[in-house]
Every structure is written in structure tokens, then in C-alpha cells.
């Protein structure tokens, strides 16, 4: 590709020309000198491909040399598909899906394990239950399998890490706008530049106010994320950032089921009350990173994240069907959390015995203060739902032909509702050695020790509970490179989930003395850079979950009161195969997608795992017909899956087609049209339980504008 490099060609010609010609003096008027022709060749960047990441090892390591399955969604792919939320980004990632999350939070499912807490920003924990946006994100990384070595507790099936856009002394002047179906109205801005050699700034911002194909569902999001970068010396930089983000929406928990399948109804039908189902989240986060590079290649990096989260949701939602009636329930839940994390990494390289060791030593400290308060909804008496009940009840029945609730609801605490304050403290030490034995053999060895302390106070009865765990998490990987562009690897990793769970809310008197759950992952894989900018990956894994607490069948309060109420068993096994492709097939054709075969079962009752389709296939294509015009086409297929662990309801599989067209009006202005679900296929996108299943979007179109200035 020669034409983008024309300015460089001119500069090179000027540099080698005789001084008189370059200076424009008298000699410049003489007969021109014939020069040999110079051609400058360059490889077109691959907008959908990433060569290296620091997230998996904390060092800049090529993906080819990382013994782990990693899928990355780039900013260009997000723009091309019109992605706005974190749930959008996993659509074309093999082996990664999003569950419904009760319509108020992100819930990722990776390798059969669902989580609302395995989310990170620039490698630091961002675990409160809310729905995330991507307005300030450079890329989203899905690091699959247990990741305790780098991320600490949790991450049982993997983690999603967002890499933010920061001040970097580059020029950033971009405005995007989006409008289309259901009154979508969304604007983002990315503005930044250098302030001399010593400083740079960047500001990303968002404003959105949109409706939905779901009747009564609305979304309003606002965010701003300024960052400032400083050079404090030749070898020291500091980056500071602050984000304020707010999300207001309606909690939508979908439709109930009948006879083991989701209820067949119009996709827009809302069950419950959108007016009485508000959700709001407020995030205020401060980040600081300080890095110093020593002589000889050693470096020291310190990262701090302080974040305050306020989250409230209330929902009126469908339960089971009773003939031609559907039972509704209601509750609300408030969470206030304050996170403080600090991480220090020291990296250096050592040559010894003919091998190269890239060593990493680190310490991480964290504290999380959480207040939770929940209330149950109280409906007026409803004899059609519960004949003979008192004047108030916790459920209400409405007819299927009009499932909206329009009456009053009171809220009060039931016997099981939480009113807690908890403090979680974490401290960790870790060591890692990336060893290069030869051009063909490499290894990664690491060990992390976490000290996790949890205290919980129940405000309702004054009970105080505490637990302490020492979590030892090893990681080992071996890489063999038969050629420079091919690697084969095998890896083993372990992570733990304490009894408090990933939301720090599951600690109780019965389980606090039990060992944490443990997840062991064994994985082999192949990575092949087919050509510069095009990568093909394959990984096969087996992930075992152990130390799962179940009721002890030997416990009897009369005959055997001294027996433990719970025992630990092997809980579940998931295994699968993941294939991925990303990059430029040709200079005009870009692709992103993959295939996953997954099988998982609960080893206690031999049932299949929920939200785990056996087969998923996805492939997005963009083809540039001319330098100014391109088209996009994507296909997503998902097999049937179970809505819940009891395997009573099957969520049908589907195939969805997406399309796009791109037109560059000028060097600064690009227009695009995105059509989701081009064939208008009725389908169900996600589930939370047997009676909370979300219909997928009907055909929708969006026009986007991207202006650089």
C-alpha cells in the first residue's frame, strides 16, 4: 500500500537531495539531477487485530507468546458495528456470552461460569453490578480461564478487561452521533492533544437518550472521562484520570415460560410495570498510574483506582404462569460501594545460563466497603392469584393478554431481605518468570498469594460474621514455536472464589468456615499469524469447579446435631473447544469471529449448566469496495441452552444476520448505516431464570456519523 506513505516518500527525497537543491539556492536553478526511483512499502494496519497485550502478564507480550486463549474487540470493530454496551462487545467472541442479569447489570458467562463481578478497568477491579458503556474504551479483552495470577480472586471462567482511552501526546479530535430505530439518540466526543513536551490531555464524553423495542423501556446515559499525562523526567511519566458515569433505565426481565419454552408473545410486550422498575447507577472513579523506567530495561509501575458506586434498582417482574394468568413479584435493592485498590509492579530482565528471564514481582492492596439494603414488594390483595389471602400479598396475578401492572405497590423488608454493611480487605504478593529458552521454547511460571479478609454486620439483628482465607494461585504455561508465526502451548491455572461470593454478599453463619471454591483450568492451544495482521487461534480446555457447598444429608437437628450442615463436593466440569479469527484477510477484507463447542454439567445432579449453548458460531466481515465505500455482513448462531440449573426450560437457538454500509464523504467525515437482525428473526437473546427470558431485538436500523476535526 503506497499512497498513504506519499508524505514520507517526499521527506526521504528531500533528505537525500543535494544541499543546494534542498536549500533552494542558486544551484537549484541548474539542470535537475536524475535520482534513482524510491518506493516506500508499508503494511496496512489491521483494525480488528491486536498483536500484543499487557493484561495477561503485566508485560508487553505478543499474543502469539501468551499461553492462554484471549479474544480482543478493538475500537474500530466497536465503531463499525455501532457497539454501545459491554454486552455488544461479546457478540462475536467465541465462548463468551451475556446472561440477562435481571435487566439491571452485566452478567458474563465464560466457560460455563456466570459472574457479575469479573470486570476490570485497565487491570483493576470494577465489580459493582451495573451496565457498562464503551464510550471511553480503546479495546475490550476477554482473558479466558482462571486469571488469579494477574487479577486475584474470582475470574473463574475468565475476565473482561476494558482498556481505556488516555492522554498519550497524540492528536484526538473525533465526534460521533447515532440515531435510528426507537428514537435512539447518542453522541460521543474524543478530544485530546499534547500541551507541549511535558503534558497532554484527553477528554472522552457521552450523552444518550433512547427508547427500546420493549414497551416502556428507556435508557439515558451520560459520562465524561478526562485524563492528564505528565512527563516528570526523561524516564518518569504519570497519568491521572477521573470518570463520572451515570446510567438510568428500566429494569426489564423479559417474559415467562410455558411447557418448557419461553412464552410466545410479541417481542415488545412488557411483563410487570416499567413505571415501577427504575434502575440507576452512579460511578465516580479516580485513576492514577506512575511509571519509571530504569537504566538497563527495568521498570516500576504503580496504579491506583478509587471508585465510589451508588446503585439502585426496583423491579416488578414475571413469575410462573397460572393458566391464563401470570404471577408478578417485586423488590428493590440498594448498593453503595467504595473501592480502593493499589498495585505495584517491578519488572526486569536477567540473562542466565543461555536463557532470558523477564521477571515480574508485585504487590496489590485493596479495600471494599459495601452497604446493601433490600425490600420486598407488597401488592394489594388479589384473589385470582392467591384465593383467601390477607389484604396484602407479595405477588399479584395479571392476565396474559394485558400483563402490565398499573396498581400501587408498597415496599418493606421481609425476613430474608438484607440490610448489611461489609468490609473486604485484600493483600497479595505475586512473582512471575517469563523464560525464553531458545527461539523455539518459552515458558511462563507464576505464583500468587492472596490474603482475603471479610467482615459483615447484619443491621437487622446485630450479628457480626468474619472469615479469612489464604488463596494460593499458581500458573504455568509452556510455549513451543516451530516457526516464527506459529505457537503451540499448554497451560495450567487455578483461582478461588471466597464464601462471600463475587458480590461480597454470600457470607453466612453456615458457610463462613468452609474452604473457598476452587477452579482448575487445563488448556492446550495453537496460535498462527497467517499473515501480518491476520491471526487464527484454537484452544481446548477442561475447567473443574470444586469445594462447592451442598446440604449435608447426614445432618439432622435431632439425631445428629453435631454434624456440619454443609459439606464440600466437586461441583461442576466444563470443557470445550474455541476457534477464533481476527484481522485482514486481504487489504480490503477484514474479519472477526469464531466458533465454540462447550459442554458442562453439574457433577452433583448431572444436569447441564445454565446459559451454556453447545455450539456458537459468529463471523463479522467488512469489505471495502473502494477507498470510500464499504459493506459489512455478520452472522451469529447459537444453539439451544437451558435457562436455569434445573434444566426445566429450554431457550431456543437462533441465527441472526447483521449488516452495515460505510461511506467516506471526505477525509474528515464518515457515514454508516447499521441494520441489526436483517432478516427480522424472532429469537430469545438471554435468560436469568425460567421465567425471566429476554426477547431479542427485531430488525433495527441506525445511522451513524463520525467526524474528525
Residue 15 lies in a domain: no
| Per-residue pLDDT band at 125 (split at 50, 70, 90) | very high
pLDDT of residue 278: 98
* Distance (Å, whole) CA 329 – CA 320: 10
Residue 192 lies in a domain: yes
pLDDT tens readout for residues 156-203: 999 999 999 999 999 999 999 999 999 999 999 999 999 999 999 999
203: nearest Cα among 232, 235, 242: 242
Residue 246 lies in a domain: yes
User: Residue 599 maps to which CATH number?
Assistant: 2.40.170.20
Q: What is the mean pLDDT of the chain?
A: 91
Find the mean pLDDT for residues 273-277. Answer: 97
8: CB partners within 8 A, 6+ apart: 40
Find the mean pLDDT for residues 423-452. Answer: 98
pLDDT of residue 562: 73
Phi (first) and psi of residue 135, to 5 degrees: -60, -30
* Distance (Å, whole) CA 550 – CA 557: 17
- Would the pLDDT of 2 be above 50? no
266: CB partners within 8 A, 6+ apart: none
- For the chain, what percent of residues have pLDDT higher than 70? 93
Residue 46 lies in a domain: no
The domain in which residue 523 lies consists of: 52-556+575-708
Residue 23 lies in a domain: no
Residue 30 lies in a domain: no
pLDDT of residue 392: 64
Residue 33 lies in a domain: no
pLDDT tens readout for residues 622-666: 999 999 999 999 999 999 999 999 999 999 999 999 999 999 999
- Would the pLDDT of 373 be above 90? yes
Residue 565 lies in a domain: no
**Residue 397 CA to chain centroid, in angstroms?**
37
Find the mean pLDDT for residues 311-325. Answer: 95
CB atoms inside a 10 Å sphere around CB 621: 17
| Per-residue pLDDT band at 394 (split at 50, 70, 90) | confident
Phi (first) and psi of residue 254, to 5 degrees: 75, -145
* Distance (Å, whole) CA 208 – CA 219: 8
Phi (first) and psi of residue 597, to 5 degrees: -110, 125
Name the domain count of the chain: 1
pLDDT tens readout for residues 237-267: 999 999 999 999 999 999 999 999 999 999 9
* Distance (Å, whole) CA 664 – CA 672: 9
Helix (H) or strand (E) segment spanning residue 525: strand 517-531
Find the mean pLDDT for residues 361-389. Answer: 87
pLDDT of residue 558: 77
Amino acid at each position: 500500500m503506497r499512497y498513504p506513505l506519499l508524505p514520507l516518500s517526499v521527506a526521504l527525497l528531500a533528505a537525500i537531495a543535494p544541499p543546494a537543491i534542498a536549500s533552494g539556492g542558486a544551484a537549484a536553478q541548474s539542470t535537475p539531477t536524475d535520482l534513482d526511483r524510491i518506493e516506500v512499502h508499508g503494511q496496512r494496519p489491521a483494525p480488528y487485530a491486536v498483536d500484543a497485550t499487557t493484561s495477561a502478564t503485566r508485560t508487553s507480550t505478543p499474543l502469539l507468546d501468551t499461553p492462554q486463549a484471549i479474544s480482543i474487540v478493538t475500537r474500530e470493530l466497536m465503531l463499525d458495528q455501532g457497539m454501545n454496551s459491554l454486552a455488544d462487545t461479546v457478540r462475536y467472541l467465541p465462548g463468551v456470552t451475556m446472561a440477562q442479569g435481571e435487566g439491571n447489570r452485566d452478567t458474563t458467562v465464560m466457560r460455563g461460569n456466570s459472574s457479575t463481578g469479573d470486570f476490570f478497568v485497565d487491570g483493576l477491579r470494577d465489580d459493582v453490578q451495573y451496565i457498562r458503556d464503551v464510550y471511553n474504551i480503546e479495546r475490550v479483552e476477554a482473558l479466558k480461564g482462571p486469571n488469579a495470577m494477574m487479577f486475584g480472586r474470582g475470574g473463574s471462567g475468565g475476565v473482561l478487561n476494558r482498556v481505556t482511552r488516555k492522554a498519550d501526546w497524540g492528536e484526538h479530535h473525533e465526534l460521533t452521533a447515532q440515531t435510528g430505530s426507537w428514537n435512539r439518540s447518542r453522541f460521543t466526543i474524543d478530544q485530546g492533544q499534547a500541551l507541549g513536551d511535558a503534558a497532554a490531555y484527553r477528554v472522552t464524553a457521552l450523552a444518550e437518550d433512547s427508547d427500546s423495542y420493549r414497551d416502556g423501556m428507556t435508557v439515558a446515559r451520560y459520562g465524561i472521562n478526562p485524563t492528564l499525562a505528565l512527563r516528570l523526567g526523561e524516564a518518569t511519566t504519570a497519568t491521572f484520570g477521573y470518570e463520572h458515569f451515570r446510567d438510568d433505565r428500566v429494569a426489564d426481565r423479559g417474559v415467562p415460560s410455558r411447557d418448557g419454552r419461553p412464552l410466545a408473545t410479541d417481542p415488545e410486550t412488557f411483563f410487570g410495570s416499567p413505571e415501577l422498575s427504575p434502575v440507576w447507577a452512579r460511578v465516580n472513579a479516580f485513576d492514577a498510574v506512575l511509571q519509571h523506567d530504569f537504566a538497563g530495561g527495568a521498570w516500576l509501575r504503580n496504579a491506583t483506582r478509587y471508585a465510589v458506586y451508588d446503585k439502585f434498582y426496583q423491579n416488578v417482574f414475571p413469575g410462573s404462569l397460572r393458566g391464563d394468568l401470570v404471577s408478578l413479584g417485586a423488590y428493590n435493592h440498594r448498593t453503595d460501594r467504595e473501592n480502593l485498590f493499589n498495585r505495584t509492579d517491578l519488572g526486569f530482565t536477567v540473562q542466565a545460563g543461555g536463557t532470558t528471564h523477564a521477571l515480574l514481582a508485585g504487590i496489590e492492596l485493596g479495600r471494599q466497603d459495601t452497604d446493601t439494603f433490600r425490600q420486598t414488594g407488597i401488592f394489594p390483595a388479589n384473589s385470582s392469584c392467591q384465593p383467601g389471602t390477607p389484604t396484602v400479598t407479595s405477588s399479584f396475578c395479571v392476565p396474559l393478554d394485558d400483563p402490565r401492572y398499573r396498581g400501587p405497590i408498597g415496599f418493606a423488608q421481609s425476613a430474608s431481605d438484607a440490610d448489611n454493611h461489609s468490609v473486604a480487605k485484600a493483600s497479595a504478593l505475586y512473582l512471575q518468570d517469563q523464560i525464553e529458552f531458545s527461539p523455539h521454547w518459552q515458558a511462563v511460571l507464576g505464583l500468587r498469594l492472596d490474603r482475603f479478609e471479610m467482615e459483615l454486620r447484619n443491621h437487622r439483628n446485630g450479628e457480626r460474621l468474619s472469615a479469612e482465607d489464604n488463596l494460593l494461585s499458581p500458573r504455568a504455561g509452556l510455549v513451543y514455536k516451530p516457526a516464527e508465526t506459529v505457537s503451540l502451548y499448554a497451560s495450567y491455572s487455578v483461582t478461588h472464589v471466597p464464601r462471600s461470593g463475587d458480590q461480597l454478599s454470600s457470607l453466612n453463619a453456615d458457610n463462613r468456615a468452609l474452604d473457598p471454591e476452587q477452579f482448575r483450568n487445563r488448556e492446550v492451544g495453537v496460535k498462527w499469524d497467517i499473515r501480518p495482521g491476520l491471526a487464527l487461534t484454537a484452544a481446548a480446555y477442561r475447567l473443574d469447579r470444586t469445594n462447592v457447598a451442598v446440604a449435608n444429608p447426614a445432618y439432622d437437628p435431632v439425631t445428629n446435631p453435631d454434624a456440619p450442615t454443609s459439606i464440600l463436593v466437586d461441583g461442576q466440569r466444563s470443557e470445550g473447544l474455541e476457534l477464533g479469527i481476527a484481522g485482514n484477510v486481504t487489504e480490503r477484507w477484514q474479519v472477526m469471529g469464531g466458533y465454540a463447542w462447550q459442554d458442562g454439567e453439574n457433577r452433583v445432579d448431572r444436569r447441564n449448566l445454565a446459559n451454556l449453548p453447545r455450539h456458537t458460531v459468529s463471523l463479522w466481515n467488512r469489505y471495502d469496495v473502494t477507498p470510500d465505500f464499504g459493506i459489512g455482513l455478520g452472522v451469529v448462531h447459537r444453539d439451544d441452552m437451558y435457562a436455569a440449573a434445573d434444566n426445566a426450560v429450554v431457550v431456543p437457538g437462533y441465527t441472526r444476520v447483521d449488516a452495515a454500509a460505510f461511506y467516506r464523504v471526505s477525509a474528515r467525515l464518515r457515514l454508516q448505516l447499521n441494520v441489526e437482525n436483517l432478516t427480522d428473526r424472532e429469537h430469545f437473546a438471554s435468560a436469568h431464570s425460567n421465567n425471566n427470558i429476554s426477547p431479542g431485538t427485531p430488525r433495527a436500523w441506525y445511522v451513524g456519523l463520525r467526524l474528525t476535526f
